[in-house]
Amino acid sequence: MVGFLLRTCVLVVASLLMPSMAWAQSNSSIAGVVKDDSGAVIPGATVEASSPALIEKLRTAVTDSAGQYKIVNLVPGVYTVTFSLAGFSTVKREGIELTASFTANVNGELRVGSLTETINVTGQSPTVDVQNVVQTKVMTRDVLDAIPAGMKSTGQIGVLIPGVTSTSQDVGGSQFSGQGLAIHGSRLNEVASLYDGMQYNVGQGRGGQFVAITTNDGTVQEVAVETGGLSAEAEVGGMRFNLVPRDGGNTFKGLVAGSYTDHNLQSDNLSDGLAARGLTSAATVKRVYDFNPSFGGPIEKDKLWFWGSYRKWATQQTLAGIYYNLTPTGHAYTPDLSRPADSQEFNQNGSLRLTWQTTPRNKVSAQYQSAYQRRPYYGYSLGQLTSAPEAIYFSKSIPMYQAQMSWSSPVSSRLLLEAGWLYNKKNYWTVPQPDNLPDQIPYSDLGTGFSWGNYGNTYGNNLGKNFNTRASASYVTGSHAFKTGVTFMRLWADTGANVVNNGMTLQLLNGSPRQVTVWATPFEFYENVNQNWGVFAQDQWTIKRTTINAGVRLDYLEGSVPAQTLGAGPQVPTRSISFAEVTGVPSWTDVTPRFGIAHDVFGSGKTALKFNIGKYLAAPNPITFTPSRTRLAASSRARRGPGQM
């Protein structure tokens, strides 16, 4: 599939460098009030929001008794809003730019006139959301293309928001793609990563670096980042990313995005002062590149759209002060000053998305992404800067894929039904460096903290699977918007562990033999989150210039440790232990309320005062909060005393 997408994109994108349309789970709305020229509200007026971004062309609402209307779950794009009522002139507001997770305040004023008369009103697009209390930063496609966000993963985009802290900073794409983020005191592992409104974390964890798919930027129309005031739809209180995908359109369009740099475009900052302090080399960019062609359009106009994208990107650089080892099998580390250590990452992602208007009131989208990731010296990105290259583990993620479907049905101008389904699978392998010999000894010096010879910790498979679904119903009258829904997630985690040299590592103290560590490996352990249910209700009332946001959420989480067996190993040749299944580890039920008020201070839609308070849950990773008894029994190790090497 990846090869097919690449060939197709290369053939067509050279002459079609234009952006695409989109339809996705973006939580965007247009709302306002309709009045006559005397200032009296008008009930029963028809409001139409139309845009080329909509495969169904337009969405309709009717004002309620307070003259208010609201059209929910629109996609990002440029809209024309038309107000009409028998006996009044039709009024059009054009050029309304709607971004993800934003409610645009668009008011209409009708006057008595001819039925054939249409008044076009121009003005600046709304920039202030005066109804929602969620704090949202939206990275539009123009912004994503302009900012120096490197690989443009959620981590590298999120650090651009004031107040955000990160496990690493990146400018230009020299850092690795997986990062943890926090804001307002949240935890790094509470980042919720959503694609088209659904969480795409891997089965072993919930946030930070636990994502199942490396992001294909060519599939993304916008990125909405919620940083505070989250509604009852959110389980945890950390940062919440929603990647709004592209969907094609009624004309064939495509784009090619790319970047490249190497050491020839880098200056040298190794000054005499740094050299005098002992620094013998500086970090050097060997090569950083990104190639990302995309193409989409109609299979059948106003009926079926497609969008395909292929991305290949990598970063290769050297590290300062760390070198390859001239004697990797010896008892001492001998740095090769002509060969600085490498830090590298290679990624690929092929994606195909279909959007189908099955009936006038039913839309279905389906997307499949197949990815690959290879990190030859990944430990360096995690801060393991006291190891020779042969003592850093090699990682690769294969298989690595995600399938997703969603359905939306505006049953009427007041009732909207939505549902979605997602499944992904990722096996993140860690292994010793491929050039290491099977019996190559791992050394570490307890005095200097430096390691060499071989990777001296556990390695193996880290398989995670994630299945989650969502369903919701929204009832909107104009002044009142009520949404209720349910989410379900199930996670599987399978972790293998082995240690080189038949489970034996050697430690020195300032160059002298000190101890031997013996590991009871190999072993494998399993943890499951069988049920993670969330039932929520979110209510929104607009009374004149004040909007009340009130919600409540019920969560139930139940995990288990499946039955498993520990077999023999090099240091435990007679081991044979079986463990029965353990259920209800943990079994949690929580009720969390949310409340907020948004006030349009001057009634102009340009200044809002907001307040919110809420209770949120933690997001523990399955491999840390559902400990397998197999793991506890297998990780025991023995040590021998000084001089017994």
Beta strands 253-262 and 135-139: pairing type?
unpaired
pLDDT at residue 492 greater than cutoff 50: yes
- The SS3 call for residue 229 is coil
Confidence at 174, pLDDT banded by 50, 70, 90:
low
Quote the pLDDT of residue 63. 94
Query: What residues contact residue 162 under an 8 Å CB cut-off, 6+ apart?
Result: none
Model pLDDT, residue 175: 61
Question: HEC states along 502-534?
Answer: HHEEEEEECCEEEEEEEECCCEEEEEEEEEEEE
- In order, the DSSP letters of 61-75 are EE--TTSEEEEEEEP
CA angle 572–577–583, rounded 5-degree value: 140
pLDDT (average), residues 575-591: 91
- If you search the block for the tokens 């009520």, which residue do you land on? 482
CB burial of residue 394 (10 Å; 0-12, 13-18, 19+):
buried
Instruction: Tell me: pLDDT of 394 over 80.
Output: yes
Only one residue has tokens 């190790």, namely 637
Least confident of 151-155, 163-167, 234-238: 151-155
CB 609: neighbour CB atoms within 10 A? 11
Residues 221-249: tens digit of each pLDDT = 999 999 989 999 999 888 899 999 999 89
Summary mean pLDDT of the chain: 86
Confidence of residue 272 (pLDDT cuts 50, 70, 90): confident
Residue 451 confidence class, pLDDT cut points 50, 70, 90? very high
The pLDDT value recorded for residue 621 is 80
The pTM (predicted TM-score) of the whole model is 0.87
| Dihedral sign computed on CA atoms, order 64, 67, 68, 74 | positive
pLDDT for 25 beyond 80 = no
pLDDT in the model for residue 11: 34
| C-alpha distance from residue 178 to each of 33, 154, 193, 339, 582 (Å) | 44, 8, 12, 27, 32
Q: Find, among 99, 106, 130, 324, the residue nearest to 225 by Cα.
A: 99
Q: Which domains does the chain have, with CATH numbers?
A: 2-122 (2.60.40.1120), 136-640 (2.40.170.20)
**DSSP code of residue 124:** P
> Residue 147: pLDDT above 70?
yes
Residue 496, classed as helix, strand or coil, is strand
Residue among 631, 623, 521, 635 nearest 567 (CA): 521
Q: How far is CA 522 from CA 230, 367, 397, 457, 486, in A?
A: 44, 38, 21, 12, 41
